[in-house]
Amino acid sequence: MPVRVLLFAAYRDAAGREVIDLPLPAPATVAEVLRQLKLAVPGAGALPERPLVAVNQVHARLESPVADGDELALLPPLAGG
Amino acid sequence: MPVRVLLFAAYRDAAGREVIDLPLPAPATVAEVLRQLKLAVPGAGALPERPLVAVNQVHARLESPVADGDELALLPPLAGG
Amino acid sequence: MSWPCCRRSRGVDVGHLTDAAIALGPLLEEAARPDRGGVTTFLGLVRNHQDGRTVLRLEYSAYLPMAEAETDRIIAEAAARWPARVVVRHRVGALVIGDIAVAVVAAAAHRAEAFEACRYVIEELKRRVPVWKKEFYADGTIEWVDPTARPARVERT
Amino acid sequence: MSWPCCRRSRGVDVGHLTDAAIALGPLLEEAARPDRGGVTTFLGLVRNHQDGRTVLRLEYSAYLPMAEAETDRIIAEAAARWPARVVVRHRVGALVIGDIAVAVVAAAAHRAEAFEACRYVIEELKRRVPVWKKEFYADGTIEWVDPTARPARVERT
């Protein structure tokens, strides 16, 4: 199944990419997507073990399920306000 | 000794006066000034037993001393802000 | 008695009490500095109701010299407790619905300090600064407001 | 990726995030009403220092659609807990020292509610809304700010 991964700020700089479409065996979890991402994108190896994540624009956990067509975002430490 | 008593807002309306100079035997307390005021000014009889008071622009108590030339203010319930 | 409204003892400063409309912009300028990134402001606006009655307008009066001095003391207490700069303005005279009756601006390097200093100052101001409010109601009556005579819920307004 | 900045889904509303300078006046107008007499505002201003280093300017970026949605959720949570109207604006793009980076305005009938709602929203916003800050220092270095890597005292800024 295709999953779109979005990278922001420092993570985007590290990976050199901001949007990555990954083909994945369904069903998957956030953790599995993260593992595949680190294999597929060299710069992504520098991402932390447990980054802040969102699935379809809602905060999620590494154990959260990821479904066909979901948008998974990897969020560096927030620094708003 | 002369003591100046200031009345504000509802107390001023009740007493019909805003400044009252009272001659008093020294030493005196706020309570004594209040007692004399109620005798001297008819409308002051309606003032409460224990009003909020200030001596020389600082919050005081009924037991606080009042000295020659002091300015004693009787303060209705505060309603600022 | 009448005191000149309002104090002009701090240079061009008009003191904490003022008979002119309160504009927030200048107060923010006065409190803020490039190293104070958190600014908490409280505005007390004239409401159109009080205890279920419709208010048309109101008048604030004050024991001006004590109100200035007590506000000075409150600001000094806040400055001793938090590294914050606090600016206060309170209207006296005639106000209409929506007017700013009081403004408290607290600027600090960190937002917790700004919030705490601002809250402290408005709470103490309401508790200690000698200001009185006369409300003019739609039914034609006029009253000196007595917060101590109100139910607790409303007293916190 | 780029989303149109910024949401215009609520009529003329520009959404919670904006690439234009934040003016407080319109936000107060938006939050206030004649029956909401207590208005607490928090402004986060761009400071000229961070962890002892001199900051010249900065850039905020955001995961815009999620930032809008998460801010919506936070405001709804506040509205469920306190009878308060809360308005939020957060800048994105390039800012200089003294600019308003974020503004939270909470208007309620009573000041306790206004303070609590305002504080809740800014705390949750900093904790949950996906916005990032790149700081440009006087020494020529540039860094993505990581509040989690800082001493606790500074983290609360």
Task: Count CB atoms within 10 A of the CB of residue D74.
Answer: 23
Q: Would you state the pLDDT for residue D11?
A: 41
In angstroms, the Cα distances linking A61 to A18, A53, D81 are 21, 6, 26
What whole-number distance in Å separates Cα of residue C60 and Cα of residue D132? Answer: 46
pLDDT grade for B16, boundaries at 50, 70 and 90: very high
Residues of chain A in contact with residue D130, where contact means CB-CB under 8 angstroms, are 8, 54, 73, 75, 78, 80
Q: Scanning every residue of chain B, which has its alpha carbon at the shortest distance from the alpha carbon of C44?
A: B81
Are the Cβ atoms of D61 and A8 closer than 8 angstroms? yes
With vertex at residue A25, the alpha carbon angle to CA A21 and CA A29, rounded to the nearest 5 degrees, is: 80
**Of all helices (H) and strands (E), which one includes residue A9?**
helix A9-15
Low-confidence ranges of chain A (pLDDT < 70): none
Q: Would you state the pLDDT for residue D8?
A: 56
Does the pLDDT of residue D1 top 80, yes or no? no
pLDDT grade for D14, boundaries at 50, 70 and 90: low
Of A54, A75, A80, the CB nearest to D125: A80
Q: Scanning every residue of chain A, which has its alpha carbon at the shortest distance from the alpha carbon of D100?
A: A81
Are the Cβ atoms of A78 and D61 closer than 8 angstroms? no
What whole-number distance in Å separates Cα of residue D131 and Cα of residue C142? Answer: 52
Chains A and D touch (3+ CB pairs under 8 A): yes
The separation between CA C13 and the C-alpha centre of its own chain, rounded to angstroms, equals: 16
CA distance C59 to chain B (A): 11
Residues of chain B in contact with residue C102, where contact means CB-CB under 8 angstroms, are 80-81
Q: Would you state the pLDDT for residue B22?
A: 94
The answer to whether the CB of D138 falls within 8 A of the CB of D56 is yes
Q: Residue with structure tokens 């800012």?
A: D95
Chains C, D: CB contacts within 8 A come to 106
In angstroms, the Cα distances linking C152 to C51, C124, C135, C148 are 12, 17, 19, 8
Chains B and A touch (3+ CB pairs under 8 A): no
All domains in chain B, ordered by first residue: 2-75 (3.10.20.30)
Q: Scanning every residue of chain A, which has its alpha carbon at the shortest distance from the alpha carbon of D133?
A: A79
Residue closest to A13 by CA, chosen among A39, A43, A33, A40: A43
pLDDT tens-place string over residues C93-116: 999 999 999 999 999 999 999 999
pTM of the model: 0.92
| Residues paired with C132 in a beta bridge | C61
Are the Cβ atoms of D35 and C46 closer than 8 angstroms? no
Residues of chain B in contact with residue C134, where contact means CB-CB under 8 angstroms, are 9
Does the pLDDT of residue D9 top 70, yes or no? no
What φ, ψ does residue D85 adopt, rounded to 5°? -100, 125
Q: Which residues contact C48 (CB under 8 A, 6 or more apart)?
A: C54, C55, C97, D34, D35
SS3 assignment, position B37: helix
> Residue D42 has which token pair?
């928090």
Chains that touch D (3 or more CB pairs under 8 A): A, C
Q: Residue with structure tokens 């900045």?
A: D5
pLDDT tens-place string over residues B20-35: 999 998 889 999 999 9
What φ, ψ does residue C131 adopt, rounded to 5°? -135, 140
Question: CATH number of the domain at C15-143, out of 3.90.1170.40, 3.40.50.2300, 1.10.150.20, 3.20.20.140?
Answer: 3.90.1170.40
Average pLDDT over residues D121-125: 98
Q: Scanning every residue of chain D, which has its alpha carbon at the shortest distance from the alpha carbon of A73?
A: D63
Per-residue pLDDT of chain C (157 residues), as tens digits, is 667 776 655 444 469 999 999 999 999 999 999 899 999 999 999 999 888 899 999 999 999 999 999 999 999 999 999 999 999 999 999 999 999 999 999 999 999 999 999 999 999 999 999 999 999 999 999 999 999 986 544 333 3
Residues of chain B in contact with residue C129, where contact means CB-CB under 8 angstroms, are 78, 80
Of C66, C90, C132, the CB nearest to B57: C66
Average pLDDT over residues B6-11: 97
Are the Cβ atoms of C34 and D28 closer than 8 angstroms? no
Q: Would you state the pLDDT for residue C129?
A: 98
Residues of chain D in contact with residue A76, where contact means CB-CB under 8 angstroms, are 132, 144, 146
Q: Would you state the pLDDT for residue C152?
A: 43
pLDDT tens-place string over residues C122-131: 999 999 999 9
